[in-house]
Each structure stands twice: as C-alpha cells, then as structure tokens.
C-alpha cells in the first residue's frame, strides 16, 4: 500500500561530459592527489554517469585531510563511503539489489507499506522495484531472504510487511546506482520504482513496551496491543476520552482506533490508537472485533461507544513517543492512548 508519493529529482547527465580518455586522466590525477595525503581508497570509472568514483572508508576523514592540505577533488569525481558488511552477513548473489552509491541530497518523506516480495530476482513492494540506500545488505537466512542495515538489524524479510520512507520515481536510470543492478537496459513505461529512505519490519513482536497480537475477523486482520510493565510504569497527565471503537474494513487498514468528537462545537474528529491494559483480550465474534477486560467482560465491539481514562502520547516530543512511533505498525499513525481503565457508561 503506497501511503503517499514524492518524487526524487536528479539532474540529467550531460551528453557533453568527459569521454573515457578524459576520465582515465581524471582518475590518475585523483590517485596522485589521494596518495599525497596518505588516504585509503579505491577508484573506478563509471562511463554511464561520466564520473570517476572514489571509494573511501570515511568521507569525513577524507574531507578533513583535503582541508588540511588545502586541496580539492578534481571535477567529475564522486566520493562514495564504502560501508563494510555487518558481521555474520550471508550474501545472496541471486538477488538483484539496485542501490544508490551515494545518499540523495533530496529528503524524501513519502511512505510505502506492503509485503516485501522477490519477483524474478528483484525485491518489490506493491509492484514497485525497490532502490536501496547505501548501508543495506541482502542476507540469506537458511533460505529466507532478509534485508539488513549496517548494524546487522533485520529491517525486511521476504513474505512479511515492510515499512519504508522514500519516494517514487519513474526513471531510475538518471540516478547514481551501482552498475548492472537494474532490470534490463531499457525501461518499460509501466514499471514503478521506489527510492527507499529508512526501512523496518512493520510488525514488531519483541517490543519492550507492548505485546502485539493479530486478530482475524473473517479474513480481515486487526492489531491488538497490550501494555508491558515498562509502558505501564510511564506516567503523565491523565485524559478521559469518549468515542467509538472503529475496526475499519478499509483495505489494508488493520489498526483499530477510538474516534472522538472534539472541539467547542463537537465538529472535530480525533482518532486515538489504544494500547490496552496487559490482561485485556481481543477476539472475533461473528466476524466483529470485540475487546474484553481482565475478567472477560466485553467492554467494546466495533461500532460501540466507550469511555477511557489514560495517557495521550503523540508527535515526537519525547523518547517514549519516538519509540512508539518506531515500533508500532505503520498503519497506527494516530495519537497513541495508554489505557489505564474503562469507565462505566453514564
């Protein structure tokens, strides 16, 4: 499911750039410069981008050395930080992995959420070919294809939902991508590409803050989250909300919420994603989501009104808010509400 689309803008390569002979001369000049300031590096000529690529272990270290010597890199040189694979990585050369050689200067803020699939050797989400940032790696975990970040964390797994930032692009061939990793030499107009920016598994079953359960209601899945002790101990100003439990049948929306009318004229709708007390349960009854308290009493069904006392968490103002945003499913983008108790109806 593509939540939003933004376009990565990149300049089109000039047909009047340096030819191979000029690039070889630029490469030699670059080698002599780097040797003069005692740098560790590798060079490579990329004829498609008309650039000399210089790979270094740390761009900042190179920049400081150049500044100290009063030198600049020659024109038509791209410096790329080569990120070492994390320990334990088991690469899979059968998986094509289109990847940028440098991080884009444009900050991409759209979101893509869907199942990571392997199609003809390419990783795709929602029919989009994924183009990865530097610092991501393919790992074969006993036949299961995973994506690791530079620290060795699993951020994607084939067959499971992945949640990514980034933006859509129609022509990836104008981007600085590692050679030979795109599908074919020509670009079918109907293909879609997604330049990834950040990624994580959408479902986190090992959070320190909450337990996550999937409830199936006649083929429609819903998330049900209960508090772990670390979250139960969090304090803050209490708030009482009265609203309707909504388990939406909208395609792909699996995060139930409490819909509350607010404002002086009760004309503003605010949605809260509840994180229920630890002993609460959820079940499907006749295809309808039901929430039960610790004693097994039904406190709300889809469409029922409910009054809750708890703590509101929203935005990115605190460490707790940031952690919840990073660990809860991507669909749960509403304000978070830590439920402490359910109040009786008037």
Q: Give the pLDDT confidence of 297-316 residue by residue, as tens digits.
A: 999 999 999 999 999 987 66
pLDDT at position 235, please?
72
pLDDT at position 30, please?
95
Listed in sequence order, the residues at least 6 apart from 142 whose beta carbon sits closer than 8 Å to its beta carbon are none
What single-letter DSSP state applies at residue 104? -
CA gap 145, 122 in Å, rounded: 11
pLDDT at position 3, please?
38
Tallying the residues shown for the chain, one arrives at: 346
pLDDT at position 291, please?
97
Express each pLDDT in 121-137 by its tens digit. 999 999 999 999 988 99
Average pLDDT over residues 86-103: 90
* Nearest in space to 50 (alpha carbons), one of 9, 92, 21: 21
The pLDDT confidence band at residue 105, using thresholds 50, 70 and 90, is: low
* Contact predicate 270/287, CB 8 Å: no
Give strand ranges (E) for 30-177. Answer: 42-46, 51-56, 77-81, 110-119, 122-125, 128-131, 137-141, 144-148, 154-157, 161-169
CA gap 153, 151 in Å, rounded: 6
Give percent above pLDDT 90 in the chain.
64
The pLDDT confidence band at residue 55, using thresholds 50, 70 and 90, is: confident
pLDDT at position 80, please?
84
pLDDT at position 9, please?
35
Average pLDDT over residues 264-286: 91
Q: Which residues of 260-292 are buried (b: 16+ CB within 10 A; e: fewer)?
A: beeeeeeeeebbbbbbbbeebebebeeeebbbb
Q: Is the pLDDT of residue 120 over 80?
A: yes
CB neighbourhood size of 311 (10 A)? 18
* End-to-end Cα spacing for the chain: 41
CA gap 223, 72 in Å, rounded: 54
Q: How far is CA 57 from CA 4, 79, 100, 325, in A?
A: 35, 10, 16, 32
What residues does each domain of the chain span?
A: 20-75, 110-201, 210-343
Q: Is the pLDDT of residue 114 over 60?
A: yes
* Nearest in space to 209 (alpha carbons), one of 79, 318, 60, 342: 318
Q: Is the pLDDT of residue 186 over 80?
A: no
Give percent above pLDDT 70 in the chain.
90
Q: Is the pLDDT of residue 47 over 70?
A: yes
Q: Is the pLDDT of residue 290 over 90?
A: yes
Q: Is the pLDDT of residue 339 over 60?
A: yes
* Contact predicate 174/13, CB 8 Å: yes
Q: Is the pLDDT of residue 337 over 70?
A: yes
Count H helices and E strands in the chain, helices first.
4, 21
pLDDT at position 12, please?
38
Residue with tokens 């889809």: 302
Using CB atoms within 10 Å of the CB of residue 160, give its burial: 0 to 12 exposed, 13 to 18 middle, 19+ buried. Answer: middle
CA gap 272, 256 in Å, rounded: 9
């Amino acid at each position: 499911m593509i939540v939003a689309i933004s376009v990565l803008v990149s300049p089109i390569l000039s047909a009047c750039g340096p030819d191979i002979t000029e690039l070889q001369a630029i490469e030699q000049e670059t080698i002599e410069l780097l040797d003069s300031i005692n740098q560790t590096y590798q060079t490579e000529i990329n004829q498609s981008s008309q650039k000399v690529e210089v790979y270094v272990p740390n761009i900042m270290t190179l920049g400081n050395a150049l500044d100290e010597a009063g030198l600049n890199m020659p024109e038509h040189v791209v410096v790329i930080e080569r990120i070492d694979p994390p320990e334990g990585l088991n690469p899979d050369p059968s998986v094509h992995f289109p990847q940028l050689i440098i991080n884009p200067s444009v900050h991409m803020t759209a979101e893509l959420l869907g199942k990571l699939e392997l199609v003809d050797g390419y990783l795709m989400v929602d029919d989009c070919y994924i183009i990865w940032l530097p610092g991501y790696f393919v790992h074969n975990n006993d036949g299961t294809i995973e994506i690791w970040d530079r620290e060795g964390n699993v951020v994607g797994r084939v067959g499971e939902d992945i949640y990514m930032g980034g933006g859509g692009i129609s022509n990836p061939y104008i981007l600085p991508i590692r050679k030979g990793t795109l599908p074919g030499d020509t670009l079918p107009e109907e293909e879609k590409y997604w330049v990834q920016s950040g990624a994580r598994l959408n479902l986190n079953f090992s959070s320190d803050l909450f337990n996550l359960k999937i409830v199936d209601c006649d083929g429609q899945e819903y998330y049900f989250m209960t508090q772990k002790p670390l979250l139960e101990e969090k304090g803050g100003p209490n708030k009482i909300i009265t609203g309707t439990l909504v388990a939406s049948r909208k395609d792909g929306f699996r995060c139930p919420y409490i819909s509350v009318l607010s404002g002086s004229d009760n004309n503003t709708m605010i949605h809260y994603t509840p994180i229920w007390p630890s002993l609460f349960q959820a079940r499907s009854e006749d295809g309808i989501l039901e929430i039960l308290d610790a004693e097994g009493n039904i406190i709300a069904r889809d469409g029922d009104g409910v009054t809750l006392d708890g703590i509101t968490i929203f935005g990115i103002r605190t460490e707790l808010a940031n952690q919840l945003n990073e660990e809860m499913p991507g669909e749960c983008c509403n304000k978070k509400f830590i439920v402490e108790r359910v109040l009786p109806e008037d």
